[in-house]
């Protein structure tokens, strides 16, 4: 149901990309907390084998620290809130509190369709730390004049990693799924600025 509502994102992105470039994008990038914006973007392209897709999870203070929300990268299958999916949990099946600087990514599970797309290999899932996301936040604000939300700042950080390795005509579509006005206080705290 979430997927169907969110799929407007992908349907419109597809139409607009075809109108602007005359072809489908080569790679899609979106951040993943529960995974709604990402599944909304990916859904319209799942049956296009030429389109690569990358979901970016929150690695928080680092996946190795245990303080993260990267359930697809570092979780195990379990059952929570009515779905079987990758979860942050201990060996007894107790749910573990995640951490991310982006509140919207701070969820111990992920929409189950992402678990399926992970296991089938259709979508690649990577992770980005708080530090990397905040660097991308600053880069975007300074170079584009756009304040991204901290959630898509994770996707931006991966784009910043990926783009230099791609040919110039590669069409990379990233979902900037929220604006960062809501995050200025968190960002100021992170950068040591008093507002």
Partner 1 sequence: MSAFGEQRIARRFASLRQQGRSGLVTFITAGDPDLGTSMDILRRLPGAGADLIELGMPFSDPMADGPAIQASSQRALRAGQTLRRTLGMVAAFRQADGETPIVLMGYYNPIYAYGATAFAADAKKAGVDGLIVVDLPPEEADELFLPATAVGLDLIFLAAPTTDEVRLPRVLASARSFLYYVSITGVTGTRAAAAEEVEAAVALIRQHTTLPIAVGFGIRTPEQAATVAATADAAVVGSALIGEIARSLGSDGGPHPKLVDRVAELVSALARGVRSAPVRGPAE
Cβ-based nearer residue to partner 1, 43 or 99: 99
* CA 22, chain centre distance (Å): 26
> Which residues are CB-contacts of 81 (< 8 A; sequence separation ≥ 6)?
109
Considering only residues 81 to 110 of the shown chain, the ones binding partner 1 according to CB under 8 A are 81-82, 87, 89, 91-96
Binding mask 4-43 for partner 1 (x = CB under 8 A): ----------------------------------------
Q: What angle do CA 28, 30, 31 make, to 5 degrees?
A: 160
CA dist 106 and 70 (Å) reads 9
Quote the least distance from Cβ 102 to partner 1, whole Å.
21
74 belongs to the binding site for partner 1 (CB under 8 A): no
Q: Toward partner 1, which CB reaches closer, 95 or 103?
A: 95
Pick the closest to residue 110 from 29, 59, 39, 28 (CA basis): 39
Determine, following the binding rule CB under 8 A, whether residue 71 of this chain makes contact with partner 1. Answer: no
Of 80 and 135, CB closest to partner 1:
80
> Where in 169-188 is the site for partner 1 (CB under 8 A)?
none
Toward partner 1, which CB reaches closer, 108 or 180? 108
Minimum CB separation from partner 1 for residue 79, in Å? 5
Helix (H, G, I), strand (E, B) or coil at 30: strand
Q: From 11-19, 72-80, 134-142, 158-166, give the range in contact with partner 1 by CB under 8 A.
A: 72-80
Helix ranges restricted to H, the chain: 2-6, 8-21, 36-43, 71-74, 112-120, 130-144, 150-162, 184-191
Size of the site for partner 1 (CB under 8 A): 14
165 part of the interface to partner 1, by CB under 8 A:
no
Beta bridge partners of 108: none
Q: For residue 51, give both structure tokens.
A: 């389109």
Cβ atoms of 111 and 3 within 8 Å: the answer is yes
> Interface residues with partner 1 (CB under 8 A)?
76, 78-82, 87, 89, 91-96
């Amino acid at each position: 149901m979430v997927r169907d509502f969110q799929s407007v994102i992908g349907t419109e992105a597809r139409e607009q990309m075809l109108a602007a470039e005359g072809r489908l994008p080569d790679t899609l990038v979106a951040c993943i907390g529960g995974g709604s914006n990402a599944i909304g973007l990916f859904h319209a392209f799942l049956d296009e084998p030429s389109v690569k897709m990358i979901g970016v999870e929150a690695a928080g203070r680092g996946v190795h620290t245990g303080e993260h929300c990267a359930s697809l990268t570092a979780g195990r299958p379990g059952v929570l809130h009515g779905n079987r999916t990758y979860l942050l949990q201990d060996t007894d099946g107790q749910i573990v509190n995640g951490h991310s600087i982006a509140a919207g990514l701070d969820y111990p599970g992920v929409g189950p369709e992402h678990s399926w797309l992970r296991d089938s290999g259709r979508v690649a899932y990577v992770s980005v730390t708080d530090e990397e996301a905040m660097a991308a936040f600053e880069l975007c604000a300074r170079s584009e004049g756009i304040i991204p939300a901290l959630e898509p700042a994770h996707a931006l950080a991966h784009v910043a990693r990926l783009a230099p390795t791609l040919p110039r005509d590669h069409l990379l579509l990233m979902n900037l799924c929220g604006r960062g006005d809501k995050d200025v206080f968190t960002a100021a705290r992170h950068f040591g600025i008093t507002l």
